[in-house]
């Protein structure tokens, strides 16, 4: 058995990019800077060192988040890692590891105040004749 879960918090490095697939599914691409603490071998001091993480969000959630997120927004993201590879137009083999987000929580509001909001996940509508079990 293997587990593929990741949780990160950080700030958006650029404005989100919203696109659509050929079938019309929304895809939102984010860049998130996540700080790591490392000890400087020369000075002996602890320093923040950024890691830059690519994040992808699909579906209705992507559309909703694109309206609220912008460069500098602080977010918490939970999802899974996905590795992909391709060949560049110059024939070079490329690869990357990204986070496919399941949950996104705002850790800062647009005006700089504190806020915490997670947009609801898209849920299927129950059939009119189907009883809800609660």
Torsion of CA 50, 115, 58, 12, to 10 degrees: -20
The model carries a pTM of 0.75
Q: What ranges do the domains of the chain cover?
A: 6-86+93-106
Contact 32, 53 (CB under 8 A): yes
Cα three-residue angle 73-76-82, rounded to 5 degrees: 110
For 64-116, how does the pLDDT look when each residue is reduced to its tens digit (9 = 90+)? Answer: 999 999 999 999 999 999 999 999 999 999 999 999 999 999 998 655 544 44
Contact 99, 55 (CB under 8 A): yes
Domain 6-86+93-106: CATH superfamily, name plus number: Nucleic acid-binding proteins (2.40.50.140)
Q: For the chain, give the DSSP string.
A: -----EEEEEEESS--EEEE-TT--EEEEEEEEEEEEEE-TTT--EEEEEEEEEEEEESHHHHHHHTT--TT-EEEEEEEEEEEEEE-TTS-EEEEEEEEEEEEEESS-TTSS-----PPPP-PPPPTTPPP--
For 15-74, how does the pLDDT look when each residue is reduced to its tens digit (9 = 90+)? Answer: 999 999 999 999 999 999 999 999 999 999 999 999 999 999 999 999 999 999 999 999
Sign of CA dihedral 70, 76, 78, 83: positive
């Amino acid at each position: 058995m293997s587990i593929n879960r990741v949780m990160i918090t950080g700030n958006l490095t650029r404005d989100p990019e919203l696109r659509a697939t050929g079938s019309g599914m929304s895809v939102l691409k984010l860049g998130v800077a996540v700080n790591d603490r490392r000890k400087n071998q020369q000075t002996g001091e602890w320093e923040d060192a950024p890691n830059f993480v690519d994040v992808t969000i699909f579906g209705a959630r992507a559309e909703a988040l694109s309206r609220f997120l912008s460069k500098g927004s602080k977010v918490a993201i939970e999802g899974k890692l996905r590795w992909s590879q391709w060949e560049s137009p110059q024939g070079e083999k490329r690869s990357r590891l990204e986070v496919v987000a399941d949950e996104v929580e705002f850790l800062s509001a647009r005006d700089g105040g504190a806020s915490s909001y997670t947009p609801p996940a898209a849920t299927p509508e129950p059939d009119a004749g189907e009883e809800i079990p609660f």
